[in-house]
Amino acid sequence: MLAMHDIDQRPHSTDRRPTKRRWHTLDAPGELGFHCPVCQYSLFHDDEYDARLKWSQYNGFLSCSVCEKDYPSAICMPNVDRAIRIYLLCVKEAIDRSK
């Protein structure tokens, strides 16, 4: 099995030549205003964004290197009330789609 950043062998295709996947560069979560919902810290440290949050291996989640947990990205917004509303709306839509 290939990692996400490796080449795609395309086993379903008749063309077996490896092709490189095209990836879009994502800004770091801290640069986008995301914040760990558990840790209390300043978003900036020495004029740089805090780098404890990374994009998680799970779709739509962020991983904190300090608490070593993954959180839904909606919960990691600075406005906690808005974050909770967005998260609950996402859960509701996922339930509606599964019916």
pTM above 0.75, yes or no: no
Report yes or no on 17 lying in a domain: no
Domain count, the chain: 1
C-alpha separations of 35 from 15, 86, 93 in Å? 44, 15, 24
Report yes or no on 80 lying in a domain: yes
Report yes or no on 53 lying in a domain: yes
Report yes or no on 42 lying in a domain: yes
pLDDT per position as a tens digit, 7-53: 444 455 555 555 555 555 578 888 888 888 888 777 666 777 778 88
pLDDT per position as a tens digit, 47-86: 777 788 899 998 889 999 989 999 888 888 878 788 888 8
Whats the size of the chain, residue-wise?
Answer: 99
Report yes or no on 81 lying in a domain: yes
Report yes or no on 89 lying in a domain: yes
Of 95 and 35, more confident: 95
Query: 89 lies in which domain range?
Result: 29-98
Report yes or no on 40 lying in a domain: yes
Report yes or no on 72 lying in a domain: yes
pLDDT of residue 8: 44
